[in-house]
Chains A and B, each alone.
Chain A
Amino acid sequence: MMPQTPMANDKTLLRMEDVSIVFSSPDEADIEAVRQVDFTLTRGKTLALVGESGCGKSVTARTILRLLDKNARIPSGRILFSPGDGETTDIATLNPDSTAMRSIRGNKISMIFQEPMSSLSPVHTIGAQIDEMILLHENLDKKGARARTIELLEQVGIPGARQRADAYPFQLSGGLRQRAMIAMALACKPDLLIADEPTTALDVTTQAQILDLLRSLRDEFGMAMLFITHDLGVVAEIADEVAVMYLGDVVEQGDVFDVFKSPQHPYTRALMSSIPRMTRRADRQRLNPIQGTVPSPKNRPSGCAFTTRCPHAFEPCAAVRPEPTGTSENHWARCHLLTDPQAPRVDGLIQPKVEGGSDAYQGDRT
């Protein structure tokens, strides 16, 4: 078996190890929104977190900044953050409103959100909102902060930055707002930028511009980026690595080329075949939507979460949680099909050899 996560090296910035997140409410049973998530973020690289709505992508991202509501807790797992000063902090153990956590927020890890209109305060100018971030973390006076703000606004490609700094969000277009949001996130030169569906609310041309901007800024600042999206097209465009989430589990993670070329988890395969491809008319195939609907986390099988919708589910799936199985360097998936010698054979998966011969295919069995 390959190591669970790639070996930590000096470029590793943040490691999620086996993190679960539980929401409790007074009148209902606790809900485990995210269970045992692990991934690694590397400087200069982008990890895309992909999955359907409600699979726990945003919850995972917000947990890194401890931005979840009071009813959320992290019963197990570690979030190891090594910003490069030799010290490693376990974010999971910090108090969300503590000084330690707040000096990370905005300063070392910053975040941009899906809806640039509602994510910016409607009653403050964008300049004031960016200044605040700089004044909070940097040793600058108001004038210096404003100069930095204007510089940032220019850097993210806002024309007439000096005047635009005094504009209110409702006076800007969606694309400009998102640029302002990005400028704010970069104000303190963070080590990690978390982008929570930053292009979903924008039209297609603006989307492409924002993605270009993010990519070039990442290279310029040398930061790591965690990019959350449900759009596989966007993933292909921006990510170096991809982690696929389903119902609170990371089911597959790896180099973006590997995963796209040979997806190893049935859910990833289903996702891939549900997006249209540009092909000649004769080669077109019908789209293959995933059967069934996402069950609520309450009804999640204790084993693999995808069991209820998986076309290849067999005996251990519902009860036993599959361990991450490496299929090539920097690529692993959690699936029994990849480890169990008794598993049904599926085309394209890297499955273990069955002892005693090559024609031992048995199909679904007990």
Chain B
Amino acid sequence: MATTDTQNLTKPVAQPKTSKPTLSGRESQFAMTWRRFKQHQLALVSLWIVVAFYLVALLAEFFAPFDPGDYNPRYTYAPPQGIEFVFVEEDGSWTWGPYVNGYGTEIDPEAMRRIFTIDEEVRHPLGFFVESEPYMLLGIIPMSHKLFGTIEPRAPLYVIGADRLGRDQLSRLIHGTRISLSIGLVGVVLSLIFGVIIGGFSGYYGGWFDSAVQRTIEFIRSLPTIPLWLGLAAALPQNWSALQNYFAITVILSLLGWTELARVVRGRFLALRTEDFVTAAQLDGASDYRVIVRHMVPSFMSHIIAATTLAIPGMILAETALSFLGLGLQAPIVSWGTLLQEAQNIRTLASAPWLLAPGVVVVVAILAMNFLGDGLRDAADPYGK
């Protein structure tokens, strides 16, 4: 309608007036993006969730009560204890403080197998910064305290249950977070390097190189990725170490994952190439390298950050799917995918549904990253799509 049309037309003109003018183009670009981003409530909350996830991943040894490999056959498929905060004594008075109940066992007469019961009588109080076996935080800082644990050593602590070897699901989940999130990050950084180099040159030089790259990108994007990833992953030698396996999978993921980033980078380059300030820099005799790095990259930094954030969930999902199918990361590496592999058997799952906990974590992480990425993209390009 006529009035709304004119309002839309005047908006872009009115907007820049409200932003504070700064001398450096790069700073104002970032400042503007951040200011717009902060208006996005959901994206802001998601940012904190993502930060929390990465903090857990970074300090996994400290957050996890146990080592992911610690097992105890006594507690095979022990159900989640849950943490209680208040205990009502027999005289009616309340005792405060977190504790977990102990386990009792019964034999199910029909199925003839052991089932766990929660023993309300036994209480194991929990404490913060409890002493533990010495370990190395981040591989370098010697520590001998965990964030939390039972105050008596050796008491059972399975907040969200145990798996088939009696390993603590929570500790494994925390360690798995480290692997899954870092694979997403490393994979995206690798993709970004491919994407920026290929997309950047493609957009900057144009011509036959650009069309060749474009056809390649279209080709890769027209293929179903999972079968290809599976094919590549299957070719990895069986005798490779866990670390080699980890890096090989990351490389495989980014081999097909760079196209979206390259597309974004190329698009921005094409748009910027004709901008006056780029022409001006070229006329000043700046080298190609300098034009790209000093003049063009800063002006689309926020777009790249947004596109990168949006690419991480894809990487994480791909790793999870591959590992789940048994062709990605291999035990003893713990990742969300390998954890979910434990949940493959539907009968096991029916008796131990807590094995699905990693799935919940995956969904939360992916949602948060998608919201964060959307928020960043909107903030970087408010008039884009």
A: residues with CB less than 8 A from B are 23, 31, 33, 53-54, 56-59, 62, 68-69, 72
Let me know if B3 and A33 touch, CB within 8 A.
Answer: yes
CB <8 Å contact, A31 and B6: no
Kindly provide the distance from the CB of A354 to the nearest chain B CB, expressed in whole angstroms: 42
The 8 closest A-B pairs by CB, nearest first: A58-B2, A54-B6, A33-B3, A59-B2, A69-B1, A59-B3, A68-B1, A23-B3
> Which chain B residues border A56 with CB–CB below 8 Å?
2-3
Residues of A within 8 A of B3 (CB): 23, 31, 33, 54, 56, 59
Check: B93 CB closer than 8 A to any chain A CB: no
Residues in chain A near residue B15, CB distance under 8 A: none
Q: How far is A265 from B5 in the complex, measured between Cα atoms in Å?
A: 28
For A54, list chain B residues within 8 Å (CB): 2-3, 6
Is the Cβ of B4 less than 8 Å from the Cβ of A69? yes
List residues of chain A with CB within 8 A of the CB of B2: 54, 56-59, 62
Distance in angstroms from B165 CB to nearest chain A CB is: 57
Would you mind naming 16 contact pairs between A and B with Cβ atoms under 8 Å apart?
Answer: A23-B3, A31-B3, A33-B3, A54-B2, A56-B2, A57-B2, A58-B1, A58-B2, A59-B2, A59-B3, A62-B1, A62-B2, A68-B1, A69-B1, A69-B4, A72-B1
Tell me whether chain B's interface is mostly helix, strand or loop, or mixed. helix
B residues touching A (Cβ–Cβ < 8 Å)?
Answer: 1-4, 6
Residues of B close to A58: CB separation below 8 A = 1-2
In the assembled complex, the Cα of A72 lies from the Cα of B4 at a distance in Å of: 11
Q: How far is the CA of A166 from the CA of B4 in the complex (A)?
A: 34
Complex Cα distance A69/B3, Å?
10
Q: Chain A binding site: helix, strand, loop or mixed by DSSP?
A: mixed
Give chain B nearest CB distance to A365 CB in angstroms.
37
Set of chain B residues within 8 Å of A72, measured between Cβ atoms? 1
CB nearest neighbor in B for A67: B1
Q: How far, in whole Å, are A341 and B26 apart by their CA atoms in the complex?
A: 62
- Complex-state Cα separation, A68 to B3, whole angstroms: 10
Closest to A57 in B: B2
Residues of B within 8 A of A23 (CB): 3
- The smallest beta-carbon distance between A209 and chain B, in angstroms, is 26
A33: B residues at CB distance < 8 A:
3
CB distance from B6 to the nearest CB of A (A): 5
Q: In the complex, what residue of chain B is closest to A196 when comparing beta carbons?
A: B2
Q: In the assembly, what is the distance between CA of A57 and CA of B1, in Å? A: 11
How many angstroms from the CA of A26 to the CA of B130 in the assembled complex? Answer: 54
Which B residues are CB-close (under 8 A) to A57?
Answer: 2
CB of A13, distance to nearest CB on chain B (Å):
23
Q: How far is the CA of A57 from the CA of B2 in the complex (A)?
A: 9
Additional A-B contacts beyond A57-B2, A62-B2, A69-B4 (18; CB < 8 A): A23-B3, A31-B3, A33-B3, A53-B6, A54-B2, A54-B3, A54-B6, A56-B2, A56-B3, A58-B1, A58-B2, A59-B1, A59-B2, A59-B3, A62-B1, A68-B1, A69-B1, A72-B1
A72–chain B nearest beta-carbon distance, Å: 8
**Closest CB in chain B relative to A245 CB, distance in Å:** 12
Among A54, A68, A72, max chain B CB count under 10 A is at: A54
CB of B170 to closest CB in A, whole Å: 45
Provide the bound-state CA to CA distance between A247 and B139, in Å. Answer: 71
With the chains together, A157 CA to B91 CA distance in Å?
A: 101
B179 to chain A, nearest CB (A): 45
Alpha-carbon distance A68/B2, docked complex (angstroms) = 9
A318 CB, min distance to chain B CBs, angstroms: 24
Closest to B6 in A: A54
Closest A-chain residue to B4, C-beta based?
Answer: A69
From A60, which residue of chain B is reached at the shortest CB distance?
B2
Residue of B nearest to A58 (CB): B2
- Residues of A within 8 Å of B6, CB to CB, are 53-54
| Min CB–CB distance B148 → chain A (angstroms) | 46
